[in-house]
Amino acid sequence: MQKRILGDSGLEVSALGLGCMGMSFSYGPPKDKQEMVTLLRTAVERGVTFFDTAEVYGPFTNEELVGEALAPVRDQVVIATKFGFDTSVDPRAMKGSGPVLNSRPEHIREVAEASLKRLRTDVIDLFYQHRVDPNVPIEEVAGAVKELIREGKVKHFGLSEAGIQTIRRAHAVQPVAAVQNEYSLWFRRPEEGLLQTLEELGIGLVSYSPLGKGFLTGAMTETTTFDSTDFRSSLPRFTPQALRANQALVDLLGEIAVEKNASPARIALAWLLAQKPWIVPIPGTTRLDRLDENIGAVAVELTTDDLREIEQSAARITVQGERYPEKLEQMTGR
């Protein structure tokens, strides 16, 4: 497995990380714990060193899973987790009025202490603010994490789905190692200023949902249905009409995949890896065969001509459907 460094932070991780959320949360019922422990440890054996979780995934159960699975190899891996939600509120509220945010400094400290216990570690490698809290100045948030770094409880500070000016203000108080943002061939908004800002400031990009929440793998059609516990059932981009319209993007990946003797998923990930050397995708999976398929993307070489062909073809495709319901979309880019 190749390695990458997130911006100027010196934080070295595997070129592909592993998003762990779906093992416990959001994508249908939680998966068998022991199977997921095995999957996580197998990922380490395959060379994956970067694992992404959050207190709200469950809540708490995902951090506990990651902590148990990675405890025997803790010195070999980088663990990222997140703060910023009020987990005393039922997470199902995320489908209704939206989640309740809480990034008050005292709460950040409480979350850090609890996450350290669940993760069975004495330091959090990368601590993200999950969503920007408009009620707490970002300077106070960055200051709280800076204090945790000074105390040795956190190594690096990150932001998730933050706006450009927020990133600049936070970075001025405590250097931001990485910004986590959705980025893929079917969600390219980061190209509208965010990537340029991160490059200027020396901040890495961690790309979540790099396979479009599974859509870009080619495993879905307009007839695909989702369990009521699968949050894709509430996303505008996953209605039958949107899935049908967006199939053109999967077809494009499929054409390139045939030429490269690869899968659409590998082409989608290889495309992301080719954008910038400081971008690290974190595809999630609960299946060993998918883990191996994703890891194989690192070996796929896309030439300048390949990338130009993808760019020209993708430019003719208009992706339909918003990625989130309005309440959740309003929490991004602040």
CA pair distance 70, 113, nearest whole angstrom: 18
CA pair distance 21, 94, nearest whole angstrom: 15
Mean pLDDT within 110-121: 98
Q: Please, which pLDDT band fits residue 31 given cuts at 50, 70 and 90?
A: very high
Q: What is the pLDDT of residues 264-291, one digit of tens each?
A: 999 999 999 999 999 999 999 999 999 9
Nearest to 239 by CA among 260, 224, 256: 224
Evaluate if residue 142 carries a pLDDT over 60. yes
Tell whether 12 is covered by a domain: yes
Quickly list DSSP for 287-315.
-HHHHHHHHGGGG----HHHHHHHHHHHH
CA pair distance 44, 318, nearest whole angstrom: 38
Tell whether 290 is covered by a domain: yes
Tell whether 247 is covered by a domain: no
Q: What is the pLDDT of residues 39-74, one digit of tens each?
A: 999 999 999 999 999 999 999 999 999 999 999 999
Q: What is the pLDDT of residue 310?
A: 95
Nearest to 142 by CA among 171, 178, 119, 111: 171
Evaluate if residue 222 carries a pLDDT over 80. yes
DSSP 8-class letter at 252: H
Q: What is the pLDDT of residue 153?
A: 98
Mean pLDDT within 116-140: 98
Range of the domain at 81: 3-212+275-300
Catalytic hit among 27, 57, 183, 208: 57
Other CB atoms within 10 A of residue 234 CB: 15
CA pair distance 246, 166, nearest whole angstrom: 32
Task: Judge whether 57 counts as a catalytic residue.
Answer: yes
Average pLDDT, the chain: 95
Q: Please, which pLDDT band fits residue 90 given cuts at 50, 70 and 90?
A: low
Tell whether 254 is covered by a domain: no
CA pair distance 265, 253, nearest whole angstrom: 8
Tell whether 64 is covered by a domain: yes
CATH number at residue 115: 3.20.20.100
Tell whether 262 is covered by a domain: no
Evaluate if residue 91 carries a pLDDT over 90. no
* Total number of domains constituting the chain: 1
Evaluate if residue 215 carries a pLDDT over 80. yes
Tell whether 319 is covered by a domain: no
Tell whether 270 is covered by a domain: no
